[in-house]
Amino acid sequence: MQTDNEKYNETVQPNTAFLNELKEKLPEFFAENGSFDIDKFKNQLDNNNINELSEGYQLDFIGKDYARRQAGEMPTTVIVPDEKQNKGEGKDSNNLFFTGDNLEVLRHLQNNYQNKIDVIYIDPPYNTGSDGFVYPDSFEYSDEKLKDMFGLDDEQVERLKSIQGKSSHSAWLTFMYPRLVLAKRLLSSKGIIFISIDHNEQANLTILCDELFGEINNVANLVWTNKEGGGSSDSSLFRIKTKAF
């Protein structure tokens, strides 16, 4: 028997998370049947603030639509309290500690902590080729279902499935995208997120965060100078290089 969340997840589209966020913030642009009134939205925009350039760029990668869909799914697991910890060392703690898949945990946190977190720090896989990262999520849908959900042809389905078990840039970005979307929803209006990364994915992470958080919200890159002078290592040395989110 399917749970309500499992039934909901079957209807999720790549833009479901975006539309839900838009509906929450701009409900006046949605009709009674839930459809977005694009014409009404356009009429409310100031012409001077519309970018009418025909050329531009965006981050694209194999698995992006699948990652967008994951960001809109509901949790399908149940949180089970650790009674031994809660009655033992953690009985006087004001903290919460979750053990499990971080994407699923982030989905659970949306219920009680959306727009309430001031500081988030994450230390994702660096995708160095030696850190053991491979794209972990299996594609639980049939090829025909994938074609129907994302409008793919046979070749595109094979490309999507090719990232499973891989540590390519596309695999890493597909892994990161839904997790950052859900983390963003947890942040308060004054919240900030710190992300540790090295040069292997730093450039891709910057573009991804520009897309999800907005380029205007990029604050700084805090660079750790791990070698200074004659090759000595000193973790107390930092440099502010450019603009972290």
Write the DSSP symbol of residue 33: T
Three-state DSSP class for residue 228: strand
The per-residue pLDDT for range 134-160, each reduced to its tens digit, is 987 667 778 898 888 888 899 999 999
Instruction: Catalogue the long-range contacts made by 96-100 (C-beta closer than 8 Å, 24 or more residues apart).
Output: none
CB atoms under 10 Å from CB of 100, counted, come to 11
Higher pLDDT, 32 or 63: 63
Task: Give the whole-angstrom CA distance, residue 146 versus residue 66.
Answer: 9
Segments making up each domain of the chain, as ranges:
4-115+138-185
37: left (phi over 0), alpha (psi -120 to 50) or beta: beta
Higher pLDDT, 35 or 197: 197
Residue 242 has pLDDT above 70, yes or no: no
